[in-house]
């Protein structure tokens, strides 16, 4: 075969292998640290189970990802993951899933690695979401996951700090109900209810309209104007209230 013919076959196969987020669907991407259980224990020096710097870098990364060319409506981070809601009409990379996943995973991995001066890798998955109700379900699901994981992580590290070997601590927690986990922490002097909300509920990032004072050089007067600024909510509300909070953000963008 001539090289031109080979090229035509290759291009056709490449094109036919491509997958797209179908029109009319919202796009959610979820980035997740690869092997962070090992990485956080062996390579990074961090507080357990939650580390202020780690949490800050995840928020900074979410803010950074708002400015990588996609029309991001809402960002949510907990533990080593970030979910981004991208607008239904976003046409970046013609909505190619390959491009979304690879570019965003690359951006996240590069950003995080620079902060910790260590090679840290994120994977990325793309999920098509057909309606607002499912968007609310998605973010409530991630918030419940944050809650479950943080309670277990506190129990695990409390047991470890009190002499339990890793396997025994993990085994003990596996069989416990949520109430029993709360009770266990209480026995060791930790009141789960009073721990910082960002650790239990995750953190939301979104554009908020704020009033700013500007200056009109023509009239020489101070003027009030509305600007959009990225806002970080570290004290998210729960369940029904969270749905209402999310709806109010999403409705600004619905057409
Ligand atoms: N020390 C510490 N560890 C954290 C913190 N936030 C997240 N982690 C770790 O990040 C891990 C995230 O777990 P997963 O994403 O479920 O698992 P993983 O090991 O990353 O594996 P894959 O995601 O499947 O590649 C947890 O096990 C925690 O140990 C933190 O603030 N401090
Ligand atoms: Mg991970």
Give the pLDDT confidence of 223-237 residue by residue, as tens digits.
898 889 999 999 999
Structural domain boundaries in the chain: 13-159+195-200
Q: How far is the CA of 204 from the centre of ligand 1 (A)?
A: 19
- Alpha-helix residue ranges (DSSP H) falling in 130-212: 132-161, 166-174, 178-187, 197-201
| Nearest by Cα to 204 from 178, 149, 241 | 241
Q: Does residue 202 have its Cβ closer than 6 Å to ligand 1?
A: no
Q: What is the pLDDT of residue 212?
A: 85
CA distance 182 to 188: 10
CA distance 80 to 40: 10
Of 66-70, 110-114, 221-225, 235-239, the least confident: 221-225
Q: What is the pLDDT of residue 181?
A: 97
pLDDT at residue 255 is higher than 80: no
Q: Which residues touch 154 (CB under 8 Å, ≥6 apart)?
A: 49, 181, 185, 190, 192, 195
Q: Say if CB 122 and CB 62 are below 8 A apart.
A: no
- Topology of 13-159+195-200 in CATH? Alpha-Beta Plaits (3.30.70)
Instruction: Using the atom order of ligand 1, give the atom closest to the CA of residue 55.
Output: 31
pLDDT at residue 201 is higher than 70: yes
Q: Does residue 46 have its Cβ closer than 6 Å to ligand 1?
A: yes
Tell me the pLDDT band of 98, cut-offs 50, 70 and 90. Answer: very high
Q: Does residue 51 have its Cβ closer than 6 Å to ligand 1?
A: yes
Give the pLDDT confidence of 112-160 residue by residue, as tens digits.
999 999 999 999 999 999 999 999 999 999 999 999 999 999 999 999 9
Q: Does residue 57 have its Cβ closer than 6 Å to ligand 1?
A: no
Q: Ligand 2 is a single-atom ion; what residues have CB below 5 A from it?
A: 32-33, 36, 80
What angle do helix axes 166-174 and 132-161 make, rounded to 10 degrees? 130
Tell me the pLDDT band of 253, cut-offs 50, 70 and 90. Answer: confident
Q: pLDDT exceeding 70 applies to what percent of the chain?
A: 99
Q: What is the pLDDT of residue 180?
A: 97
The residues facing 52 across adjacent strands are none
Instruction: Using the atom order of ligand 1, give the atom closest to the CA of residue 81.
Output: 15
Residue nearest to atom 23 of ligand 1 (CA): 34
Instruction: Using the atom order of ligand 1, give the atom closest to the CA of residue 36.
Output: 20
Residue nearest to atom 26 of ligand 1 (CA): 37
């Amino acid at each position: 075969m001539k090289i031109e013919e080979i090229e035509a076959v290759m291009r056709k196969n490449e094109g036919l292998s491509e997958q797209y987020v179908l029109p009319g669907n919202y796009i959610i991407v979820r980035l997740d640290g690869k092997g962070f259980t090992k990485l956080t224990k062996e390579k990074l020096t961090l507080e357990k189970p939650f580390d202020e710097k780690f949490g800050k870098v995840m928020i900074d990364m979410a803010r950074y990802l708002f400015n990588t060319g996609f029309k991001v409506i809402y960002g949510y981070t907990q533990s080593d993951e970030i979910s981004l809601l991208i607008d239904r009409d976003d046409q970046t990379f013609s909505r190619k899933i390959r491009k979304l996943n690879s570019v965003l995973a690359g951006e996240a991995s590069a950003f995080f690695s620079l902060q910790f001066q260590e090679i840290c890798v994120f994977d990325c998955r793309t999920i098509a979401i057909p309606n607002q109700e499912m968007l609310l379900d998605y973010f409530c699901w991630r918030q419940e996951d944050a809650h479950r994981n943080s309670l277990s992580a506190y129990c695990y590290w409390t047991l470890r700090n009190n002499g339990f070997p890793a396997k025994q601590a993990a085994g003990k927690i596996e069989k416990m109900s949520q109430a029993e986990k709360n009770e266990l922490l209480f026995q060791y002097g930790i009141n789960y209810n009073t721990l910082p909300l960002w650790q239990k509920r995750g953190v939301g990032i979104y554009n908020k309209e704020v009033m700013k004072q500007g200056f009109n050089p023509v009239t020489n007067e101070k003027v009030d104007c509305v600007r959009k600024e990225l806002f970080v909510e570290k004290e998210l509300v729960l369940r029904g209230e969270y749905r209402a909070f999310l709806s109010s953000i999403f409705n600004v963008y619905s057409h």
